[in-house]
Amino acid sequence: MAENGTFEIVDRDGLARIARFQTPHGIIETPGVMPVINPNIIVLSPGEMSKLGMQALITNSYIIKRTPELAEKALKQGVHSLVGFDGPIMTDSGTFQSFVYGGIEYTNKDMLDFQKSIGSDICTILDIFSTPDDSFTKAQYAVEETYRRTHEIKDDGTIYAGTIQGSIYPSLRKRSARIMSSSAVRYLPIGGVVPMLESYSYANLISAIHSAKMNADFSKPIHLFGGGHPMFLALSVLAGVDMFDSASYIKYARDDRILLQDRTVDLSDLERMPAWSPLADRYTINELRDLEKEEKTKALATHNLFAIFSEISEIKQRIAEQSLRRYVKGKVRSHPYLKDAYLKFLGYKDVMHFESYSRKASFYYTDVEDRKDPIYSRLRNFCLAEIAGRDEDIVIVDDVLVSPVLSLESDLVHAYENSSAIFVKNWNGIPVPMEMWDTYPIQQSISSFSGRRSNMLSTLSKIFPGRSVQKMRDRLGVRLPEGKRRFDLEKIRMIARYQFSTDGSSMIFPDESAIRTSKKTDRIRTVSYGEDLIATLRASDGLLTFTSAGAKLLDLALPGLKCRVMVSDESREFNLQGKNVFFKFIVRSDKEIIPGNDTLVVDQSGKLIAIGKATVSGKEMRYFKRGVAIDVRSGLGQSGN
Ligand code: GUN
């Protein structure tokens, strides 16, 4: 069993991740929602909630401590017995009550000792709550004092939660995330956001999440305190939130309100029972309305919690498919302020570091909003830099010529090989050089008509004034500058430049490289040099996978290449034999590493020992202590290498 507090990523889609968090009472799989339980009034029992999909719950240690009967039972039998649940239980500390009543009768230390004594799996520091209306100075005090309180925790194996505060001030959220991450807490809630959620201030909320996430320890779960409404879950997960708690399921139930995936509706306004509701085969809408108050509250709480857990399942499925962005894009249309928050999120450029070069799901280009997708921006930046870097005529190849009909394609290749011009096609407003046409997302995309319609001729003439730009509908009437080159070689070189942000691609693939194509599809499959297989071009996303001989070329040709991890001597021999690299053995890593991309493994003297695929980005690499960092394909000590 993993050590308590270990957080291991299972699957990812950008900043969103499915992960496993180890607690003394079992594993919590994220993203997830902990229902809030008031130990004085248990409407749905944990047993009933488990049947709906609950893995963990949260309760309030302050309420327990100040209620003598509860405190006595909890201290004698533990909090798990008190609430009747033997899975993971997180306890909150009374921060919110302290904020509402202007203080509580216990100190931080009292609350931490108590939470530990009753056997809580995740104990929360008594942090200082900040509201969005607080002045900078007041919010700053809350951040510093909350951090000071982390010094009162003992390093005794307990999992502590230390809340990131900072109100609406990005600089304070950033500082809070950094100092709380540097402390001994292993769980990082984002706090002070309930007023933002209640007033639909989603833009402030996304800013708070982003500033916190980008500065937090990536190996610790991020929890959004109070953020369990199904409307906001998907966008939060996309921005990197792992856990939520929700009291809304019960609060709304008491007010006769029912949670739907994109809104909350009064029971009196509900005309039909949602077919997916667990209540659908139990009551008609009128029967539900006519229930006694207590029974109705329980029924609505059941429905509301089920709505929340259904949304979490959908989000997890989207992460597994790597199509969470597409889902969020639709989801944010349910409220104008949610859309505003999404647009704000799309403006955050640093999200790019966490995105792979390709996704399992195809890329949908629906409208200009999709130009903010990191995969789109990265491709656009690359293509424009490629065109800018070569002072040649530009030829725009019309869609008609880019049909998969072989004769036309080979005709085009012939034209390319006898010319020095840059051949591009318009892919949703990006002039994509012909060498990249099989690479993700070009082939693996579906584009709306609006995407295909942009006027590439005038766009290119504007970006590259003075350059000859012409359109090629057919070969007649186009005068191409003469040249001599191999299309297959130029193609793999350009893909290598894309994958490794390098201009040394002709050193990786020398002129003598032998390139083989598939007989069936006529697409490039492998690249060899002399006797050695260097790389294969993946059919799924048109990107390169290197062999150990290829790794040697990469290493030799590009000493400045920023895709290396250095491992300790303990790990060296294993990696030489082709075994995976574990995080705990990494001594140093380049922060430019892209998740899913080929990465070189070197020993402490800097000597190449293996090549494989990075499981996380360079920004995340140094935080993790457990799990596989590089999925090694080939070790240089294996026979045949
Ligand atoms: N519950 C809702 N918001 C907060 C917060 O900021 N801190 C704590 N400890 N609990 C909360």
pLDDT tens digits, one per residue of 311-320 = 999 999 999 9
92 assigned to active site = yes
Q: Hey, what are 42's tokens?
A: 């248990």
Cα separation, 58 vs 227, in Å, equals 13
Say yes or no to pLDDT of 418 above 90: yes
Quick one: CA torsion of 390, 391, 392, 393, rounded to 10 degrees?
Answer: 120
User: If DSSP codes are grouped into helix, strand and coil, which group holds residue 122?
Assistant: strand
Q: Atom 4 (ligand 1): residue with closest C-alpha?
A: 191
Greatest CA separation found in the chain? 92
Residue 408 pLDDT: 59
Say which DSSP state 75 is in.
H
Ligand 1 centroid to residue 124 C-alpha, Å:
9
Cα separation, 256 vs 287, in Å, equals 14
User: What's the burial of 157, exposed, middle or buried (CB within 10 Å: 0-12/13-18/19+)?
Assistant: exposed
| pTM reported for the whole predicted model | 0.96
More confident residue, 468 or 410: 468
Residue 66 neighbours by CB distance under 10 Å: 15
Q: What is the mean pLDDT of residues 558-575?
A: 94
Cα separation, 601 vs 326, in Å, equals 34
Q: Cβ < 6 Å from ligand 1: which residues?
A: 92-93, 95-96, 124, 127, 129, 163, 191-192, 194, 225-226
Say which DSSP state 397 is in.
E
Cα separation, 614 vs 600, in Å, equals 9
Ligand 1 centroid to residue 127 C-alpha, Å:
8
Ligand 1 centroid to residue 207 C-alpha, Å:
18
Among 485, 496, 490, smallest CA distance to 536 is for: 496
User: If DSSP codes are grouped into helix, strand and coil, which group holds residue 313?
Assistant: helix
Say which DSSP state 419 is in.
B
Ligand 1 centroid to residue 336 C-alpha, Å:
26
- Residue 467 amino acid letter: R
Among 479, 50, 36, smallest CA distance to 470 is for: 479
Ligand 1 centroid to residue 224 C-alpha, Å:
9
Say yes or no to pLDDT of 641 above 90: no
Q: Which atom of ligand 1 is nearest to the CA of 226?
A: 2
Say yes or no to pLDDT of 612 above 60: yes
Residue 325 pLDDT: 97
For 238-262, the pLDDT digits (tens) are 999 999 999 999 999 999 999 998 8
Cα separation, 246 vs 106, in Å, equals 25
Q: Atom 8 (ligand 1): residue with closest C-alpha?
A: 95
Q: Is the dihedral of CA 112, 115, 117, 120 positive or negative?
A: negative
Cα separation, 195 vs 113, in Å, equals 29
Ligand 1 centroid to residue 381 C-alpha, Å:
41
For 499-555, the pLDDT digits (tens) are 998 777 778 899 999 999 998 888 999 999 999 999 999 999 999 999 999 999 999
Which residues are registered as beta bridge partners of 172? none
Most informative mutation of 58, 62, 96, 168 for ligand 1 (most atoms within 8 A of CB): 96
- DSSP conformation letters of 226-268: T---HHHHHHHHHTT--EEEESHHHHHHHTTEEE-SS-EEEGG
Q: Which atom of ligand 1 is nearest to the CA of 127?
A: 9
- Residue 494 amino acid letter: M
Say yes or no to pLDDT of 640 above 90: no
For 421-459, the pLDDT digits (tens) are 999 999 999 999 999 999 999 999 999 877 666 789 999
476 — pLDDT class (breaks 50, 70, 90): low
Say yes or no to pLDDT of 99 above 70: yes
Query: Tokens 């995936």 identify what position?
Result: 261
Contact 258, 252 (CB under 8 A): yes
Q: Atom 5 (ligand 1): residue with closest C-alpha?
A: 191
Catalytic residue among 11, 13, 86, 92: 92
Most informative mutation of 187, 190, 194 for ligand 1 (most atoms within 8 A of CB): 194
403 — pLDDT class (breaks 50, 70, 90): low
Quick one: CA torsion of 204, 210, 215, 220, rounded to 10 degrees?
Answer: 110
Cα separation, 10 vs 118, in Å, equals 31
For 171-212, the pLDDT digits (tens) are 999 999 999 999 999 999 999 999 999 999 999 999 999 999
Residue 451 pLDDT: 65
Q: What is the mean pLDDT of residues 600-619?
A: 97
Ligand 1 centroid to residue 192 C-alpha, Å:
6
Q: Atom 6 (ligand 1): residue with closest C-alpha?
A: 191
Q: Atom 2 (ligand 1): residue with closest C-alpha?
A: 225
Q: Hey, what are 408's tokens?
A: 């036309």
Most informative mutation of 97, 127, 134, 223 for ligand 1 (most atoms within 8 A of CB): 127
Residues with Cβ within 8 Å of 283's Cβ and at least 6 positions away in sequence, in order, are 273, 291, 299
What backbone phi and psi angles, to 5 degrees, belong to 513? -55, 140
Structural domains in the chain, CATH included, are 26-347 (3.20.20.105), 363-485 (no CATH), 499-635 (2.30.130.10)
Say which DSSP state 134 is in.
S
399 — pLDDT class (breaks 50, 70, 90): low
Contact 153, 160 (CB under 8 A): yes
Query: Tokens 């939130």 identify what position?
Result: 241
401 — pLDDT class (breaks 50, 70, 90): low
Residue 405 pLDDT: 47
Contact 508, 558 (CB under 8 A): yes
306 — pLDDT class (breaks 50, 70, 90): very high
Contact 444, 358 (CB under 8 A): yes
Min mean pLDDT across 61-65, 232-236, 393-397, 636-640 is at 636-640
Residue 376 pLDDT: 97
Cα separation, 226 vs 221, in Å, equals 15
Quick one: CA torsion of 607, 611, 613, 618, rounded to 10 degrees?
Answer: 10
For 376-397, the pLDDT digits (tens) are 999 999 999 999 999 999 999 8
Most informative mutation of 95, 125, 167 for ligand 1 (most atoms within 8 A of CB): 95
Q: What is the mean pLDDT of residues 580-589?
A: 97
Residue 407 pLDDT: 52
